[in-house]
Amino acid sequence: MSDQLTIRRPDDWHLHLRDGAMLQGVLPETTRHFARAIIMPNLVPPVVTLADARAYHGRIMAALPPGAEFEPLMTLYLTENTDPGDVAAAHASGLVKAVKLYPAGATTNSASGVSNLDAVRPVLERMAEIGLPLCVHGEVTDPSVDIFDREAVFIDRVLDPLRRAVPGLRVVMEHITTADGVEYARSGGDDLGATITTHHLMINRNHMLVGGIRPHYYCLPVVKRARHQRALRAAATSGEARFFLGTDSAPHNDPAKESACGCAGVFSATNTMSCLAYVFEEEGALERLEAFASLNGPAFYGLPPNEARITMTRGQPVDYPAKIETGAGPVTVFDPGHPLLWAVSDAPV
């Protein structure tokens, strides 16, 4: 086995950057390795209109580290008051690459999300017409449904009926966490894709709960049983074009995570590529890492793959920082629980 791997520069198809001091603190962790990222719109207030997206894009560009080559791919937050005309204008502008559906109350800053899908049908139909993808947080919020079952129930109750009602709508099942999600993604055609996170490939619910609660492993959708983790690994390393990387890297400062009611989110931007190399090597599929991290996502979104390359070298354990210091407080970096032997060259070529 070679100790060096060169791939096209990767993209992140699901990223939280937040805003203000937190944005300035965490953005360099993504731009170091990634060329582009789909930027989540769940700010307070959310990024709902084209004007909002332009303003947020400007703040991200202003926060770029000197010399960084990075393109933020903007999204709009779908609400029951979203204007189909504004969505079409956002798509035509070239700035906005997707619209995000949060079921109301499903995750961080989702209170403005959708409770009644019929109310957003005109928006979804316009999106199907123009080819603008819908990114879906796939969980029901029904309190009677167990948190570990909410993805599977969402597929049955919401996602499949939605796709049947709006044929031709391009949908990304974001951060799938179950064998059910993998199976459903495989049942769709070219208009259905699925992102998989770094942390869901590396941990399951035992890592979060056995021997004490580890708040920095708590995320939404929550990590599931080991059998679901195995299904995700098989999907990610399969080379199938429908599966691609979306880290869902989501920074919260440590006091917000380490509290009586800690926030959901795992911050993995710093060490994702080393983590992925660990997983793909363990699964005997290093030759498919480029497809998952660098090729499949651009193909789904109709964008060219990056021309620049990064080189990863296998050697001594990489010394990643335990925390990133930001103006909004310290943010703990995802702990994979294993030494990471694949280092990424800092400068793409």
φ/ψ region of 94 (left if φ > 0, alpha if ψ in -120 to 50, else beta) reads: left
Residue 23 maps to a domain: yes
Domains held by the chain: number: 1
| pTM of the complete model beyond 0.85 | yes
Residue 126 maps to a domain: yes
Residue 179 maps to a domain: yes
Spatial distance between the Cα atoms of 317 and 98, rounded to a whole number of angstroms: 37
- Expressed as residue numbers, the domain containing 49 is 4-344
CB 281 within 8 A of CB 342: yes
Residue 318 maps to a domain: yes
Clarify whether 346 is annotated catalytic: no
Spell out the per-residue pLDDT of the chain, length 349, in tens. 579 999 999 999 999 999 999 999 999 999 999 999 999 999 999 999 999 999 999 999 999 999 999 999 999 999 999 999 999 999 999 999 999 999 876 666 566 788 889 999 999 999 999 999 999 999 999 999 999 999 999 999 999 999 999 999 999 999 999 999 999 999 999 999 999 999 999 999 999 999 999 999 999 999 999 999 999 999 999 999 999 999 999 999 999 999 999 999 999 999 999 999 999 999 999 999 999 999 999 999 999 999 999 999 999 999 999 999 999 999 999 999 999 999 998 666 6
pLDDT of residue 258: 98
Helical pair 226-236 and 179-187, crossing angle rounded to 10 deg:
40
Residue 273 maps to a domain: yes
Residue 265 maps to a domain: yes
- Report pLDDT digits (tens) over 283-340: 999 999 999 999 999 999 999 999 999 999 999 999 999 999 999 999 999 999 999 9
What CATH number is attached to the domain comprising 154? Answer: 3.20.20.140
Residue 82 maps to a domain: yes
End-to-end distance of the chain based on CA atoms, in angstroms? 23
Q: Select which of 248, 254, 319, 346 is catalytic.
A: 248
Residue 349 maps to a domain: no
Listed in sequence order, the residues at least 6 apart from 315 whose beta carbon sits closer than 8 Å to its beta carbon are 3, 341, 343
pLDDT of residue 104: 78
